[in-house]
Structure 1
Amino acid sequence: MNSVIIAVLIMLLLSLFRVNVVLALITGAVIGGLTGGLNLTETIEVFSGGLGGSAEVALSYALLGGFAVAISSTGLPNVLVDWVLGKVAVNGEGRGKTLSKAFMIFAILLMACMSQNVIPIHIAFIPILIPPLLKIMNELQIDRRLIAAVLTFGLTAPYMLIPAGFGQIFHEILAENMNNSGLAVNMNDIPIAMLIPVGGMAVGLAIAFISYRKNRSYSDISVVDQEKISYRKNDILFGLAAIAAALIVQIVTDSMIIGAVSGLIVLYISGAVKWKEADQLLTDGMKMMAFIGFVMLAAFGFAEVMKATGDVESLVQLAADAVAGNKAMAALLMLVVGLLVTMGIGSSFSTIPIITTIFVPLALELGFSPMATIALVGTAAALGDAGSPASDSTLGPTSGLNADGQHNHIWDTCVPTFLHYNIPLIAFGWIAAMIL
C-alpha cells in the first residue's frame, strides 16, 4: 500500500483514539517513512529537517498567545463580555434565548469570514475574542462543536471563493500552478468555478446548525482571574490601541510575529500591562498556544517525510492510472487523493503544487472543461483543511474553545468539521466537475 495512505491513516486513527496529535503525527511519519523505503535514520533526519519550516509559524502563535493574555489583563475582553451580556437575554427560554444564540453565532461567523478577506489576520482573532465569550456561551448552553464548525467555515470558505486577502493568495497559487501544468487560467473564472463547492460547505454549515442545535452544558470555569483585571478607562483604550497596532503592523509587514510584538510594546509602554506582571502574562499566553506550535512543527516534519518517500506523486499517478478514461470516477478519485494529501500536510496552499502536475494534464486528457478543472483542483486542494488535526483551520478554533479545558481537539473540532464539510465538498466538487 502507498506509504502516504498508511501514514495518514495511522495518524488519524491514533488521533481518534485520543493519542496526542503531535505523537500521532510523529508515529505516522516514522511508519510512513519506513514503508516508503527510507530507513529509520533517514526518516528521522528528514523529519527533523522539516521542523525548521514551521519555526516562524510556531513562534508567531506563541507570541500571539502572549498578546491575547496581555489584552485580557487590561479588562477589554470583559468589557466586551459585559456589553454582549447586556444585549442578549441569557435568563430564560424561548424566543429571547434563541435570538441571543443567533446574535452570538452570527457575530463569530462574520468575524471569521472577515479574517480571511477584509482584515486578513487568519486565526489571530480567535485567542483574543473567543475565551472571554465562553462565559456567555455557557450561559446560553451553546454546543461548542457548532462554534467550531462556524469558525472553520469562516476560515476556509471565504479564501476558496473571494479573491481578496488570503483568497487572493489561494487563487494566485491555483492559477500559477495550473498555468505551469499546461492550462491557462483566467483569475476571474476561479470564483465562478469554486461557487458550487463552496455551496457544499454552506450546506454543511446549515446541517451543523441542525446537528448541534440542542443545549449542551459546560462547567463555568473562569479563563482569566477576575480579581486581577483592571477596568480603568485608560487601560481599555490602550488595549484597543494595541489591537489596532498589531493588526496594522501585521498587514503591512505580513508578519504575525512583528504584529504581536508591536501590540505588546504598546501595552508595555502605556502601562496597561504592569512590568512586574508582564513576564508571567507572556509565559501564560505562550503556554496557551504552545499546543498549536508543536502540532505545526510536527506537521511540517510529517509533510517532509511524505515528500521524501516520493509516494505523494505515486499516489496522484496511481489515481490517474486507475480511472481508465472514466470521467466520473476520475473526478471522484482526484478529490479523494486531495483529501488524503491535505489531511496529512494540513495546508491546502501547500497541496496545490503537489497535485496540479498530474491532475491538470489528466483532466485535459479526459475532456474536462477549464472551469471543471479549476473546480476539481481547487476543491481537491481545499479538502482536508477542515477536519485535519494539523490544519490551522481546526487548531485555531480549538485554541479558543478549549481555553478552559472543556473542548477536545479531535472529537469536538476535527470530527465535526470533517463530517460537515469534507463530505459535502466531495459531493459538490464532483457535481461541479460534471456540469461545468
Structure 2
Amino acid sequence: MLGWEDQPILNGGVGKACFHLAEALAKQIELTMIVPQADHLAIDQHAEVVGLDALNLAEIKQAPVEQTFERFATTLRVPAALFPYEEPEVGQGYTQHSSELQDKVEVVNQEQKGPYAQETASQPQSAAAQGQPQITFAKGAKGTLNFEVIQFARYAARLASHKEFDAVYAHDWMTFLAGMEIKIQRKVPLIVHVHSLSFDRQVGEPLGWVFELETKAMHEADLILTVSERTARMITKRYGISAKKIQVVYNGADKAPASPVVSAKRKQVTFLGRLVAQKGPLQFLKVAKVVLNQDPDVHFVVAGHGPQLDEAKLMVKRLGIEESVTFTGFLPPAKAEALLKNSSVFCLPALSEPFGLAALEATQAGLPVVITHQTGAAEVLPEASVADCNDTEGLAEHILQLLENEELRRRQVEANQKAVRQLTWGSTADKVMESLHTVLLLQD
C-alpha cells in the first residue's frame, strides 16, 4: 500500500483515510505500507509501516528486474510547481528533463517549504548527514513536490523489489508513479484509490503533468476505487475510463460515539477544512454576509489553513463582517472536535469536493450540516441540507432554517447519525478486500 501521509503526520483527509483503511485491512491481510514519513507506532503490529525518512536511502539497492525505473524517468517532464492539496502556480515550474533535475536537487533543512515542514521543523538538521534524508527538496519557494513524487517512486520501487506481495494499492496521484513502476517490475495488479482529482483541486481546469499522470495511472490500473459516485462519473467523463473498471467505496467514520444534537442557542456556524478553492471558504463568507443581513447575532468561524487565508481575511473586511467572523488557523483533532461541539451548524459550501470527511465528523458531533450538490458526502447523509455551490441565497436560507427550527435540527442530525453508523472503516475495508479478490481472480 502506497500512501503520502501517516497519522499523526497529516495534511489532509487522504492521510486520515489511508491510516484508517490500513488499520482495518491489516486485520485481514499481510500489509506493508510505504509512506514518505511515518510514525511507526501509529498502526499496531499487524502491519509493517515503512517511512522513507527512517531509512538509509543510499543503501537501498534495486533488486534485479527486467525493467527499471529509469525507463519511466526518461518519459516524464516536471513542468509545474505543485503541492498535493494546492493549485499549481503557473509560471513557477521547471522545464528541464526529470533526470537532469535529479542532479540539481539536494537535501536541505526543514526550513524549506514542503508538505511536512510544520510538523518536522524540530528534527535535527544532521539527519541527512546520518544517511536519513526526508524526500529531498529542490531549492526555491515552491516546486518541490514533483521532485518528491519522483524520488518516492524510485525508492518505493526499490523497496518493493525485495518483497513478496500480490498487489500494489496506491492512493491519489502522489503515489501513482510508484504504483505503475511496481506493477511493471513485479507483474502484479495495480489498484488506484482516487480521493480527489485535478478537476477538483483546480476547480475544472486541470493543468500540467499531474493531470497526465492521473490519466496514465487510471488507464494502466487494473481497478479504480473512488470515494463517491460523483468522482466515478467524473473519471468516466473526463478521463475516458470505462465505468466497468471503477468501484465506489465510501469513506468510513471514526469509531467515536455520536454526540447528542447540539442546541442552536449559541448561533455559531463553522467551516472546517483546508482553505482552498475547491472547499469554498470564500463562498462561506458570502453566505455569512447574507445570513447576517437577516440575523446579525450569528457568529461564523473559519477553521483551517491554506492558500486562500489572506484572500478570505480581505474579503471579510470588504464585506464589513469583521466582528462576526473568527479565523482559528489549523486545529489539531481534539480542538477541531471541541469547536464542532460548540457550534450550531456546519457549512461546507464546496465547489468540488469528492467526499468531505469533515461533514461526517460534524454529524457525529451532533451538528446539522449544510453542504452542496458538488460534495460527495451528500450521497451518504440522507437529511443534509443541500444546495448548489453557486446558490448563495439557498445556502444561507438552509442555515437560517436550522438555527430557527429545533425540530428540523433534531430530525436531520438523528437521521444522518444513523446513516453514519453504517459507514465504518471496517466495512470500507471489507469492500476494498472484495474488489482486491476480484482483481486477483482475474489474474489467475
TM-score (norm 1): 0.23
More contact order relative to length (CA 8 Å, sep ≥ 6)? 1
Higher strand share: 2
TM-score (norm 2): 0.22
Higher helix share: 1
